[in-house]
């Protein structure tokens, strides 16, 4: 593992190796030399701040960047008044982009105070030429831009700035159009010592007509099962008891491997890892969710009873135009099967309103699915036009006031559905993985049920990282108050 690296053994006086990940460890070692110099000059270690926008994929990418920075010797800080600031961007909806520009602009004041400050911008937004052009033109305070495919080269890019051209005002731009190899065995940090995200695949092949993801994250690539298992075994040794297997569409895992493996087969291997207590996964595409997986969910002892199953729309007509490859009826049948196989399962979803051409009838179909599926929670979105996607040039963009009104009705429907679910859960006891001391209420801790609900209950900090039975006593919508049910 990377935390056992003997840095003195890496000879930084030679040319860098060409193979990965050795090349990146070489650049980390070089940057470590720079950190030593910085420390001598300033009497402190350099501070780095990573700001993450968007989804779980980005969150995990940021943990990889942080892992590299920690190896180099940076201290993590939450303040943007730092020696290094990284913005890991999202572009799934237009307002995500707008937020980032504002935030990059705000960094100018820190750079004026600390001219040695390095600013890096990466992630999905940087895979789009217009965004890079805008930064080049209007945000000269940015030093390095890179994309989603070369995050593993973070140390090499940083070394370019710190060591090769520290005084240069030239922006380093390194964005790749296509993904190359998957580089294994690089460092990664995690927010909690006892749980971690694990990428099982990258990219997406689905091209839902509204979605930018396949264009900015590339085609589907699966990691080899042996690499995934080795990573999880290492994490378990390091104290992790829960993993979240991550992919844009985990149900199609393994199809492009030399020796194809199904997602269920992978889960069976993960289930057998000693010491691992809980397994989650995200995200499932309804069109690829197999009966084998449902059956496994019913008998697995480690899979959490939660599935995130994006609906997007309840209208079969719109689902076709969205290129989702299922109908309202297919979706509801799937939900029924899952509920039958896995009692007490929590189902969450993503829903878009305002997709081009959405009529009141289409929208009512969505409300009908919410009612019938009875979701535990839903992420609800107003359709956002993404240049380059098929939907962007479709007729019938829905007027803003109509969408806003539908959005409110959507929220109400989701609240009703959540409340119905709460009535089923209240009074029952569930295993809770305790995450932290509750900052708002003294004497309380906070954890998550397998269904992914937050629960606050009386307890002390030595429960953190443990899985304990908690009775749910009071529902506050998306979180609960409970009491320890005794070991």
List interacting residues with ligand SF4 (CB under 6 A). Answer: 204, 206-208, 211, 213-214, 248-249, 285
Minimum CB distance to ligand SF4 smaller for 213 or for 293: 213
Minimum CB distance to ligand 5AD smaller for 67 or for 286: 286
Window 11 to 70, contacts with ligand 5AD (CB under 6 A): none
Please say whether the beta carbons of 406 and 378 come within 8 A: no
Q: What's the DSSP call for residue 461?
A: G
* Residue 398 touching ligand 5AD (CB under 6 A): no
Give the bridge partners for 454, in sequence order.
448, 479
CA-to-CA distance for 247 and 222, rounded, in angstroms?
Answer: 9
Minimum CB distance to ligand 5AD smaller for 64 or for 93: 93
CB neighbours (10 Å) of residue 403? 19
Q: Which stretch binds ligand 5AD (CB under 6 A): 34-42, 144-152, 381-389, 395-403?
A: 381-389
Contacted entry of ligand 5AD, ligand SF4, none for residue 384, CB cut-off 5 to 8 Å set by kind: ligand 5AD
CB contact set of 118 (below 8 Å; sequence gap of 6+): 83, 84, 85, 143, 144, 158, 161, 162
Contacted entry of ligand SF4, ligand 5AD, none for residue 417, CB cut-off 5 to 8 Å set by kind: none
* Residue 352 touching ligand 5AD (CB under 6 A): yes
* Residue 215 touching ligand 5AD (CB under 6 A): no
* Residue 350 touching ligand 5AD (CB under 6 A): yes
Cis peptide bond prior to 21, omega within 30° of 0: yes
Please say whether the beta carbons of 477 and 430 come within 8 A: no
Minimum CB distance to ligand 5AD smaller for 252 or for 384: 384
Contacted entry of ligand 5AD, ligand SF4, none for residue 207, CB cut-off 5 to 8 Å set by kind: ligand SF4
Residue nearest to ligand 5AD (CB): 350
Closest approach of ligand 5AD to the CB of residue 208, in Å: 7
Closest approach of ligand 5AD to the CB of residue 13, in Å: 47
Dihedral angle sign, alpha carbons of residues 235, 240, 241, 244:
negative
Minimum CB distance to ligand 5AD smaller for 111 or for 325: 325
Dihedral angle sign, alpha carbons of residues 37, 40, 45, 51:
negative
Window 302 to 321, contacts with ligand 5AD (CB under 6 A): 310, 312
Closest approach of ligand SF4 to the CB of residue 213, in Å: 4
Tokens of 351: 């829903």
Minimum CB distance to ligand 5AD smaller for 35 or for 211: 211
Tokens of 290: 């197999």
Please return the burial class of 153, using the count of CB atoms within 10 Å of its CB with bins 0-12, 13-18 and 19+. Answer: buried
CA-to-CA distance for 245 and 232, rounded, in angstroms?
Answer: 10
Minimum CB distance to ligand 5AD smaller for 58 or for 119: 58
* Sheet-wide strand order for 278-282: 195-199, 242-246, 278-282
DSSP one-letter string for 272-323: T-TT--EEEEE---GGG--HHHHHHHHH-SSB-SEEE---B-S-HHHHHHTT
* Residue 381 touching ligand 5AD (CB under 6 A): yes
Residue closest to 151 by CA, chosen among 52, 33, 243, 68: 68
Closest approach of ligand 5AD to the CB of residue 105, in Å: 25
* Residue 97 touching ligand 5AD (CB under 6 A): no
Please say whether the beta carbons of 226 and 182 come within 8 A: no
Closest approach of ligand SF4 to the CB of residue 153, in Å: 24
Minimum CB distance to ligand SF4 smaller for 7 or for 379: 379
C-alpha to C-alpha distances, 105 to 139, 182, 250, 273, nearest whole angstrom: 7, 33, 37, 47
Contacted entry of ligand SF4, ligand 5AD, none for residue 188, CB cut-off 5 to 8 Å set by kind: none
CA-to-CA distance for 446 and 456, rounded, in angstroms?
Answer: 5
Contacted entry of ligand 5AD, ligand SF4, none for residue 448, CB cut-off 5 to 8 Å set by kind: none
CA-to-CA distance for 335 and 357, rounded, in angstroms?
Answer: 26
* Residue 386 touching ligand 5AD (CB under 6 A): yes
Contacted entry of ligand SF4, ligand 5AD, none for residue 248, CB cut-off 5 to 8 Å set by kind: ligand SF4
* Residue 383 touching ligand 5AD (CB under 6 A): yes
Contacted entry of ligand SF4, ligand 5AD, none for residue 93, CB cut-off 5 to 8 Å set by kind: ligand 5AD
Tokens of 114: 């600390």
In the list 210, 263, 281, 331, the residue contacting ligand 5AD (rule: CB under 6 A) is 210
Provide the binding-site residues for ligand 5AD, judged by CB under 6 A: 92-93, 210-211, 310, 312, 350, 352, 381, 383-384, 386
């Amino acid at each position: 593992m990377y935390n056992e690296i003997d840095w003195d053994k890496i000879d930084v006086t030679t040319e860098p190796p060409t193979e990965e990940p050795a090349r990146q460890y070489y650049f980390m070692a070089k940057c470590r030399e720079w950190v030593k110099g910085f420390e001598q000059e300033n009497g402190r270690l350099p501070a780095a701040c990573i700001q993450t926008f968007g989804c779980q994929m980005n969150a995990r990418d940021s943990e990889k960047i942080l892992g590299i920075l920690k190896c180099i010797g940076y201290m993590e800080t939450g303040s943007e008044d730092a020696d290094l600031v990284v913005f890991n961007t999202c572009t799934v909806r237009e307002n995500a982009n707008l937020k980032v520009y504002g935030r990059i602009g705000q960094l100018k004041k820190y750079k004026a105070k600390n001219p040695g400050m390095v600013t890096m911008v990466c992630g999905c937004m940087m895979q789009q030429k217009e965004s890079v052009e805008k930064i080049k033109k209007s945000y000269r305070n940015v030093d390095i831009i890179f994309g989603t495919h070369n995050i593993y080269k973070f140390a090499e890019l940083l070394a370019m700035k710190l060591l090769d051209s520290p005084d240069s005002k030239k922006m380093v731009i390194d964005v790749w159009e296509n993904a190359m190899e998957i580089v294994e065995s690089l460092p990664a940090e995690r927010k909690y010592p006892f749980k971690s995200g694990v990428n099982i695949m990258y990219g997406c092949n689905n091209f839902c007509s509204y979605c930018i993801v396949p264009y900015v994250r590339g085609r589907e690539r699966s990691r080899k099962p042996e690499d995934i298992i080795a990573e999880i075994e290492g994490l378990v040794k390091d104290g992790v008891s829960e993993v979240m297997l991550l992919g844009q569409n985990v149900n199609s895992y393994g199809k492009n491997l030399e020796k194809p493996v199904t997602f269920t087969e992978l889960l069976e291997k993960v289930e057998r890892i000693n010491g691992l207590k809980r397994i989650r996964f995200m995200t499932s595409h309804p069109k690829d969710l197999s009966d084998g997986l449902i059956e496994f969910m019913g008998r697995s002892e480690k899979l959490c009873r939660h599935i995130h199953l994006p609906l997007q729309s309840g209208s079969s007509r719109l689902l076709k135009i969205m290129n989702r490859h299922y109908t309202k009826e297919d979706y509801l049948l799937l939900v029924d099967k899952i509920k039958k196989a896995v009692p007490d399962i929590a189902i969450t979803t993503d829903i878009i309103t305002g997709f081009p051409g959405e009529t009141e009838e289409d929208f009512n179909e969505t409300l009908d699915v919410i009612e019938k599926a009875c979701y535990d929670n839903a992420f609800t979105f107003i359709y956002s036009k993404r240049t380059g996607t098929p939907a962007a040039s479709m007729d019938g963009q829905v007027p803003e006031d109509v969408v806003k009104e539908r959005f409110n009705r959507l929220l109400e429907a989701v609240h009703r559905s959540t409340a119905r679910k709460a009535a089923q859960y209240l009074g029952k006891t569930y295993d809770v993985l305790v995450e932290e001391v509750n900052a708002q209420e003294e004497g309380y801790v906070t954890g998550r049920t397998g269904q992914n609900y937050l629960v606050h209950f009386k307890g002390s900090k030595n429960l953190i990282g443990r899985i304990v039975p908690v009775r749910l006593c009071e529902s506050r919508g998306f979180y609960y108050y409970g009491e320890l049910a005794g070991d």
